[in-house]
Structure formats: C-alpha cells, structure tokens
Structure 1
Amino acid sequence: MSLELNIPCETGIVTALLDNAENPTAFLILAHGSGAGKDHEFMSGYARAVAREGISVLRFNFPYMDAGKKFPDRAPLAISTWKRVREWAGSNVSGGLAVFVGGKSFGGRMASLAVAEGMDSRSLIFLGYPLHAPKKENKLRDEHLYPLQVPMLFLEGTRDPFANPEILNRVVSELNEDSEVVWFEGADHSFKVARSGRTISEDGAGLAETTADFIRRQLNAD
C-alpha cells in the first residue's frame, strides 16, 4: 500500500506517495506528466510494478496539480520543486540508497533540466520524453541533454507524436555512451497500444521490467 507524504517546498506543501520495495536495492523519484498527477492509474501501475522489482518509488505532485490548476508550473518553479523533493527524499526516505530520478513526459523533462542545474541523480529515466510538440519537429527540446554525464534511459512508443523515432534515435546517439532508448512497438505517448486489451495501470506496469534492468546495470557498473 502506498504511503501518503507531505513535502515542504517554497510554495508550501506538495503531496507524494511512497511505494516501498521489500529489501530495496535502489530508490526512484518520479514526477507526473502535464495532464495527470501522481495518483493517475498509469503512474500507480508503474510505481507499484517497479517496487515489486525491488526498487522503492517516491512519486510527487507539482504545485499546480495539488492546487487544481489546469496548466503546468513554469519551468523555474517546476525545477525548484524537483530540487527540493530530491533533497528532502535524500534526507528522509531514501535510506542511503542510490537515487534515480525521472518522470512521465513533462515530469521527466523537468527532471533533466534540474539535473542540468546540478541536482544529484544516479541516472535519468524518461517515460515518453517530449522531444518536440506534435508536428513541430523543427523545435527540439534537446540542447540541455548533450552536456549531461549521467546515464539516461528513454522509454518511448513508436506512435508517440512527441518523439519522431528517427530524430530521437539520432539525439540519443549523440548523448553520453551510457544512454539508450528502448522502443515499444505500436505505443502512443501514454504507452497505449491499440487493441492490446491492457488497462491504463497495466500500460504503466509494462515499463517496470525495462526500468529495473537499467537500474541494476547502473548499480553493477559502480
């Protein structure tokens, strides 16, 4: 069962959920996408499945989500929230384990911007990186990624309108050598595959094994 937590931030309090693994080997902090918060079925399915793989997961809301606002926080606030959650988790709940960070779409991109500004993380994990807006492939959100030295895992659907496969493959090939992209055939930006018969929760859970394998490889490389 997920443990409800309140994390003090500059805007007041952000809410979080902790899924503790049994005898955890690592700790993952996870942020949601722009349209749905930490309680969304996709986020729940993913977090709980990763915890079953032996990795504890803390998922949190950005301030706008807790406030019931429609539009995401601007980048400076989202980045500062990420930094505060990372700091708080390291002092209160990670138990000294290696900390990995990432998120769904917007949440993952904000995590990478926070890491670019010095936030500590063992690696970055993207659940559908929004490389560009749909049909705007000439405006990429990639410049801050190239200098990063942490390993990066991009989990992507082949039908994702936010990530042209050819372009994303090129971008990842130009990142540090420990970064990789894993494609999920037929999946859209929410990792939904037409006529798959899976629930939203199962769509999220389907990414857990790949995530856990990546984290274990990073730990073994230490």
Structure 2
Amino acid sequence: MVDIPVELPAGPETVTGDWTVGDREDIVLIAHGAGAGKDHPFLVGLADALGAEGLSTLRFNFPYVEKGRRMPGPAAHAIATWNAVVAWARTQEPSARVWATGKSYGGRMASMAVAEGLVVDGLAYLGYPLHAPGKPEKPRAEHLPVIATPQLFIEGTNDPFIQPLEQFETVVSTCQNARVAWVDGGGHSFEVKGQKRPAAEIGASFARVIAEFIRG
C-alpha cells in the first residue's frame, strides 16, 4: 500500500494505492468506476493479469472513496487526483512510459485530465460512459477530439451507456487517434447474458489487449 498526496481546493489530502513493480519501461495506472473502489475484484484481476504480462501497475482510490462516500465529488477533485497519481508514478521511474486506464467514471476522468493538459502515453477505457443510460442526448464527449494521446476504448456491444452504437462510433471517429475493442454481447461491466464469470476473471481477460495496445 502506498500513500499519494493530492492537492485539492480545500487543502491537501491523501489517497491510497496498490503498487506492483514489473517492467519499469511501462507503468499502468488503474482507476475505479463511480460505484466501487480500487479493490473491486474486476480491477484486482486486471492488475494481476497485467502484472503477469510484466507491467508495473498502480490501482488507486479517488478522495471520495477514501472518505467512505458513495458518490463522486467534483470532477476537479478526480482530475487533481489523476495529476497527482501520474506525478507519483513518474517519481518511481522517470524514464517509464505511463498509461492511464480506468473503469467507466475513472477512465472518463482520465480523459478530462488529459484534455486539460495531463501528459500520459496512452488512455485505455474499460466501458467509457458516453452518457447516462437512456440519455443519449447528453453525451460526455466534447473534450475527446482534443486528445492527441492514443486512446483504446474497450466496450460491450450491449452497454446502455453507449447506446445507440452508431452515436458512439461517430464520437470515436472524431478522435485524433482512437480504436475500439468490442466485447460481443457485453454490458457495462462486460457481463454477457448466459455466461457467468467472476468479476476478477472478466477484468483479467482485458490484460492482453491492453498490453498489446501498450507494446504496439
């Protein structure tokens, strides 16, 4: 467990992370979704499998989780956390490439941080929440075309956060450097009807595609 200082408008706070050292040429930072912290089995499974690929990983919490709250705080707090976590990672190995990965909310907050100037080598989203379910008229995409950093969207074809798919594909087409890895039949947590798999196993299944993205 590591402690990472974060400068917030109300003063400094600390978030915790789980740091595993692998290939020091690449560090993968892993953020949680809105409803679960860094220790969700999906993220633990992903981190373990990325470690098996030889990559260094850091799973971390946002400040609201550290305080025991269920709902995210202001986006500015999450963006500040992303900046702090990337800075911390660079102190571990200044020459390493740093990759930002996040489940749903965590990935979207990473994209907003990068659009505002945070420098990472790539972004990998695990279920990007384009809009709230049933509200495609309110997409969260205006900042995505600004991002020049390579982006990988890992998405389930049945995810209500990106329906209709045509709208999502149009958004991706506006990005400068982006591609999609589809999970046929997958929902927002990549559950597939008729297939029962532990969350850790589902998370681990994406390590190879992320590793290929990093090394490609």
Q: TM-score, normalised by structure 1?
A: 0.91
Map 1:26-65 → 2, pairs under 5 A: 26-65=26-65
What's 1:149 paired with? 148
How far apart are the structure 2 equivalents of 1:52 and 1:193? 25
What's 1:136 paired with? 135
Shift of 1:95: 5.2
How far apart are the structure 2 equivalents of 1:70 and 1:197? 27
What's 2:72 paired with? 72
Higher normalized strand content (fraction of residues) = 2
What's 1:14 paired with? 15
* Percent of pairs with identical residues: 46
SS of equivalent residue, structure 1 residue 201:
helix
How far apart are the structure 2 equivalents of 1:72 and 1:128? 17
Q: Deviations over 1:89-127 (max 9, x none)?
A: 111x24521111120010000001110111110011100
Q: What is the aligned residue count?
A: 211
What's 1:220 paired with? none
- Structure 2 counterpart of 1:207, one-letter code: F
Contact 2:27 2:89 (8 Å CA) reproduced: no
What are structure 1's unaligned runs of at least 5 residues? 218-222
How far apart are the structure 2 equivalents of 1:79 and 1:205? 26
Contact 1:112 1:124 (8 Å CA) reproduced: yes
What's 1:163 paired with? 162
What are structure 2's unaligned runs of at least 5 residues? none
- Structure 1 counterpart of 2:98, one-letter code: V
Contact 2:99 2:120 (8 Å CA) reproduced: yes
Contact 1:25 1:54 (8 Å CA) reproduced: no
How far apart are the structure 2 equivalents of 1:110 and 1:94? 24
Q: Deviations over 1:12-67 (max 9, x none)?
A: 2100011222x444111111000001000000001111111122111100010011
Contact 1:31 1:38 (8 Å CA) reproduced: yes
Contact 1:134 1:162 (8 Å CA) reproduced: yes
Shift of 1:192: 1.3
